Chains A and B, each alone.
Chain A
Amino acid sequence: MIKVINASCLFRHTSGEEVRALDDVSLAIEVSEFVCLLGRSGHGKSTLLRSVAGLNPLTSGRIEVDGAVVRGPGVERGMVFQEDTVFPWMTVQKNIEFGLRAQNRAPHERKREAARWLEAVGLARFGESWPKELSGGMRKRVAIAAAFAGGAPILLMDEPFGALDYVTRRDLQSLLIDLWQRTRRTIVFVTHDVEEALVLAERVIVMRRGRVADDIPVPLARPRDEDERASRTGVEISKRILHHLALETPVAAPALT
């Protein structure tokens, strides 16, 4: 279980202006939940995720994972980045084994785990390939397999599918849901895409100006196809999210000549 307790994070711009990326955020995420952190760019969702990962120190407050205060990255919290972090100088197999190798696990165990996760993401034949030989979507599958293979019960994902085309993104969403249902790991997934949140999440936490603006359960049936998302509940949740994302009432702009 993840507990965020009065977490605040201040950044100082080069202009000297102070920005509250996180403003007194408190929330709890249960074991095996699939939570989406949703919000517009610059409203604190990535900062919160990176803080849980231990990659971003808080200015005040604390984050606890199973009762222990987060002071840095830990093997119980895996992460999938928006950027392509698959190591290009290692084969796909070596990439998947990386976490287990870092944790000093025996070679035969690493091989077995890698084979299992390559199979699970549909890349069983690509173990000996170099990342350069794979498409962007396939490399994302490698990144997901590597995160799962690392063994972390909590997986943090920072807009992992942001750079992919629509169809590839839908494929990977299905894959991720499939893996989540089979493993029941806790997944915290950052996105700015309302549709993506409706497809994936059991619960959507809407972030706005560094605060939690809303916390919405998503009781839709799976698979979350177009019909399911267009159901009354689906549309209501969409509207509620969009309301929070809406622009401020625009100030009358000076006329341009």
Chain B
Amino acid sequence: MSATAFVKMTVSPSSLRISGAEWGRQLALNLAGVALFLLAWQGAHVLVGQYLPPPAVVIQAAYRNLWSSPHFVGLGLPAGGYWPHLVSTTGTAILGCAIGGLVGAASGLVSAHSPTAFQIARPVVGVLGTVPILVASPFFLIWFGVSDTAKIVLVCLYSAVVLHLYALRAVEHLHPSFQEYARTLGASSRRIFFWVSLPGCMPELFGGLRTALGAAWGLAAITELLGTDRGIGRVIITTWGVQDITLMMAGLLLLCLVALAADALLMAARRHVTRWMPRTS
């Protein structure tokens, strides 16, 4: 039996470790994928017409309106182009994920070790995990007002539930022999938690964090659509009001780029934290 058979791995293609020549080949393929996407977009523009502006126009609009935009001022949006909205949505997604993830991982790990905590947390997580979280967003806007708090609480709640469930599963997948072995060497419960359970659960916790962060962008943007003063969702709904599809798509494009960058950073952190794990090739 291999050392790591006990740790169920969540290896995605992006976390594979690769050598120099292979890296060049993969980059070429990735660029080919991007080119294919842009080509399809351009083709769709030819078919649909003015309601689907071509990539070059959207990219140009995103670039020109990034720092300051005369259009936005005319629409009643705060001055300063896309930038302050991007910062707001990004802040919401990352802060919500960080706080929610921390709370969820902690409650999940504690539940996995204490039957009392498990029984208390189960119905709460059950309800929160079943309610479609987007349906709850109007309530948050009523309770917290049109503010960043409503968005952050929504992302927080979702991330907490996801991380709680991932943490529970992570402990379940960690072989009990690890804990028994640590006990025979004289480790206290607290140390077993920090030296055995926590590092052993890291691969799965990162998997949960990735799921939560991926959903956080959408949750933040959709709460912004429903009502807020800042954020990419706010820009999209406002530019929709004047049928400026180019500006709508430019906002979406910028949000995608930020989300991709955040995911890449998260994966880099995961590679470092779980560098002890064997990489499948």
Residues of A within 8 A of B (CB): 53-55, 72-75, 77-79, 81, 83-90, 98-99, 102-103, 130-132, 134, 136, 139, 146, 150, 156, 163
Annotate B163-198 by CB proximity to A: 1 below 8 A, 0 otherwise. Answer: 000000000000101101111111110010001100
Counting CB contacts under 8 A, is B202 at the interface? yes
Does B1 count as interface, using CB distance less than 8 angstroms? Answer: yes
**Could you tell me the distance in whole angstroms from the C-beta of B103 to the nearest C-beta in chain A?**
24
Whether a CB of chain A sits under 8 angstroms from the CB of B33 is no
Q: Which residues of A contact B180 (CB under 8 A)?
A: 55, 73, 79, 81, 85
| Of A55, A81, A86, A87, most B-chain CB atoms within 10 Å | A87
- Given A81-B177, A81-B180, A102-B191, A86 contacting B185 (CB threshold 8 A): no
Residues in A with CB closer than 8 Å to B6 are 83-84, 88
The A contact surface, by secondary structure, is: loop
Select one of A89, A90, A103, A163 contacting B1, CB under 8 A: A163
- Indicate which residue in B184, B191, B277 contacts A73 across the interface (CB closer than 8 Å): B184
B199 interface contact, C-beta 8 A: yes
Interface residue tally of chain B, by bracket?
Answer: 20 to 34
> With A and B bound together, what is the CA distance between A132 and B200 in angstroms?
14
A-B contact count (CB 8 A): 88
Interface residue from B3, B184, B274, B276 paired with A139 (Cβ < 8 Å)? B3
- Tell me whether A87 and B177 are in contact in the complex, defined as CB-CB below 8 angstroms, given that A74-B186, A132-B277, A136-B2 are known contacts: no
Interface hits, B76-101 → A, CB 8 Å: none
Chain A residues with Cβ below 8 Å from B186 are 73-75, 99, 102-103, 150
Nearest residue (CB) in B for A83 is B177
Contact assessment for A150 and B3 in the assembled complex, using a CB-CB cutoff below 8 Å: no
Across the interface, do A88 and B185 meet the contact criterion of CB distance under 8 Å?
A: no
Assess whether A102 is in contact with B278, with CB atoms less than 8 Å apart.
Answer: no
B267 within 8 A of A: no
Please report the C-alpha to C-alpha distance between residue A111 and residue B186 in the assembled complex, in whole angstroms: 18
**Taking the complex as formed, is B10 at the interface, i.e. its CB lies under 8 A from any CB of chain A?**
no
Given contacts A83-B6, A88-B7, contact A132 B278 (CB under 8 A): yes
Interface pair B183/A73, CB less than 8 Å apart: yes
Find out whether the CB atom of A89 lies under 8 angstroms from the CB atom of B200: yes
B60 at the interface (CB under 8 A from A): no
Identify A150's interface contact among B2, B185, B191, B196, CB under 8 A: B185
Residues of chain A contacted by B2 (CB below 8 angstroms): 84, 136
Are B1 and A84 within 8 A (Cβ)?
Answer: yes
- Chain B nearest CB, measured from A174 CB (Å): 22
* Cα–Cα, bound, A88→B181 (Å): 13
Q: Is the CB of B3 within 8 A of A81?
A: no
In the complex with contacts A85-B178, A102-B191, A132-B185 CB distance below 8 A: no
Question: Which residues in B have their C-beta under 8 angstroms from that of A53?
Answer: 184
- With A75-B185, A84-B2, A98-B182 already in contact, 18 other A-B pairs whose C-beta atoms are closer than 8 Å: A54-B184, A78-B184, A79-B184, A81-B177, A81-B180, A83-B1, A84-B3, A84-B5, A84-B6, A85-B180, A88-B277, A89-B199, A89-B274, A103-B186, A131-B3, A131-B4, A132-B277, A136-B2
Cβ distance B183 to chain A, nearest Cβ, rounded Å:
4
Task: Say yes or no: A55-B276 contact (C-beta < 8 A), given A83-B6, A89-B200.
Answer: no
| Nearest Cβ on chain B to A163's Cβ, whole angstroms | 5
Q: How far is the CA of A136 from the CA of B4 in the complex (A)?
A: 11
Residue pair B3, A132 in contact (C-beta under 8 Å): yes
Q: Evaluate contact between B185 and A78: CB separation under 8 angstroms.
A: yes
A77 adjacent to B278 (CB under 8 Å):
no
Nearest residue in B to A56 (C-beta to C-beta)? B180
Known: A55-B180, A81-B177, A131-B276. Is A102-B4 also a contact (CB below 8 A)?
A: no
Using A83-B177, A88-B277 as known contacts, say yes or no to A98 and B4 having CB atoms under 8 A apart: no
Give the chain B neighbours of A79 by CB distance below 8 A: 180-181, 184
B184 with A55: CB separation less than 8 A: yes
* Chain A residues with CB below 8 A from B181, complex form: 79, 81, 85
Q: Which residues of A contact B278 (CB under 8 A)?
A: 132
**Nearest 3 CB-CB pairings of A with B:** A99-B185, A102-B187, A75-B186
User: Quick one: closest B residue to A143, CB to CB?
Assistant: B181
Q: Determine which of A55, A78, A88, A99 lies in contact with B3 in the assembled complex, contact meaning CB atoms within 8 Å.
A: A88
Provide a sorted-by-A list of 15 A–B residue pairs whose CB atoms are within 8 angstroms. A53-B184, A55-B183, A74-B186, A78-B184, A83-B177, A88-B4, A89-B276, A90-B276, A98-B187, A102-B182, A102-B191, A130-B275, A131-B276, A132-B277, A150-B186
